[in-house]
Amino acid sequence: LVRSLGDRSIVLVGFMGCGKTSTGRRLAQRLGLPFIDADAEIEAAAGMTIAEIFARHGEPSFRDGERRVMARLLEHGPRVIATGGGAFLNEETRARIARRGVSVWLKAEPDVLWRRVRKRSHRPLLQSADPEKTLRTLLRERYPYYARADVTVISRDGPHETAVEEIIAAVE
Ligand code: S3P
């Protein structure tokens, strides 16, 4: 698999809480590839947390930084890259991923996602009066974009190893 990737990266996409970071880390370990978390790269580049970027500069500024960081991360491969949940909605980023990587959508049921993100309050997009409704609305809007990924793998509750093996089988 690693040989067939050449210098392309495996790029995990999907909604908040679908397991991009934890699955990505294990996948990278399993394949002996470097793991990169795009959200962490954005925070490092900005010198502040994502919540702070949203609060001080607004979402458009965050999206601009996200697009630039994604371009930089895709320059060198092969790697396993976990993206932020909105990265794959950007047309330029999608095109770049298509050229420089294999995209994998970790698809999960709305209930599963809600259960996983409800405890975490650091996600600025879910800071609303009714975060569960916001999640479901966002998810509906985003499904058609995520569905354009090269590969779809179902993210279930339980050990992340299952998803790792499914990704390897699907990408190979
Ligand atoms: C976002 C998802 C977050 C982070 C930011 C915006 C989104 O990443 O990039 O809060 O638009 O879905 P995770 O998917 O890793 O939570």
Q: What is residue 157's predicted lDDT score, i.e. its pLDDT? A: 83
CA distance 112 to 49: 26
Question: Looking at ligand 1, which residue's alpha carbon is closest to its atom 3?
Answer: 84
Confidence class for position 121, pLDDT limits 50, 70, 90: low
| In the chain, where the domains are located | 2-171
The DSSP annotation for 30-75 comes to HHT--EEEHHHHHHHHHTS-HHHHHHHH-HHHHHHHHHHHHHHHHH
Residue 85 DSSP one-character state: T
| Ligand 1 centroid – CA 84 distance (Å) | 4
Question: For strand 80-82 and strand 9-13, is the pairing parallel, antiparallel, or unpaired?
Answer: parallel
Residue 164 in contact with residue 30, Cβ under 8 Å? yes
Predicted ipTM beyond 0.95: yes
Q: Is the CB of 24 under 6 A from ligand 1?
A: no
Interval 61-96: pLDDT, tens = 999 999 999 999 999 999 999 999 999 999 999 999
CATH match for 2-171 among 3.40.50.300, 3.40.50.150, 3.90.950.10, 3.40.50.1100? 3.40.50.300
Residue 108 in contact with residue 154, Cβ under 8 Å? yes
| Ligand 1 centroid – CA 79 distance (Å) | 20
